[in-house]
Structure 1
């Protein structure tokens, strides 16, 4: 496993925090815009703004947060598949990035183009999606903070093997 110096590790962690917080903030903005439209705000204003935010901020931040998170896991002692909490975060984030890129961003563009002609179902979807995404981001944050579940058993070296390897290297 490759490790990076502490200064680079802290820079990577800072970048991960900034991109992840940006993603969460953009989620909250989209949720706010969706709720505003449901509560009577002008859809001709709200949905083009939501489309712009989704295209310019949301999609790029989600991909960047995922990339930086993977790089951080690979270049630090946590590893990508070594700990259950990291693997769970990876799965959650990967699914979320896929949903952002392939479902939500196109829906936001569609809403921006239709504005006032958007169906009630599509309006509801533009509240539900960022609400679910926000909850998943909070879950990922809790996982990063508490680091539950320990290491995956498949990544632990067998006691017998490590002893033999050490003994063999001394000869």
Structure 2
């Protein structure tokens, strides 16, 4: 009986983790002024709502639901946030203008938390629907209630002092 419980527990734990490709927002300095996202590590629970305790939360925002003015206000207030994950559509043609405005907003601001992008697929839509349902029922993800935790473990980016630049000129 105990052996069956261990096997079931390990099967359930194995299904709880999934790898998803994500892409980090650029960071750069221009005349000594930092722009972009300076952080890369994530280890916070997921939320779809601005009503959660966002200092320890990764906010998941599909581009189709994005309010640029709300995001601009949030960035300007420098409110603590565990991180941002933007869900990109598979087809950029219908939302190209929104993506261009989002890009301009993000690369011209200093953002003191990690910002990532992921392409939407059925698995990510299912995860987002579950996170959104938990937020709507008032049961945010925590260590005791469960939910989704987004983890990216990487070394923090370092400044490249003398980058190698190659010029190619064709006549």
Same fold (TM over 0.5): no
Greater C-alpha radius of gyration: 1
TM-score normalised by the chain length of structure 2: 0.25
Report which of the two has the higher share of strand.
Answer: 2
Report which of the two has the higher share of helix.
Answer: 1
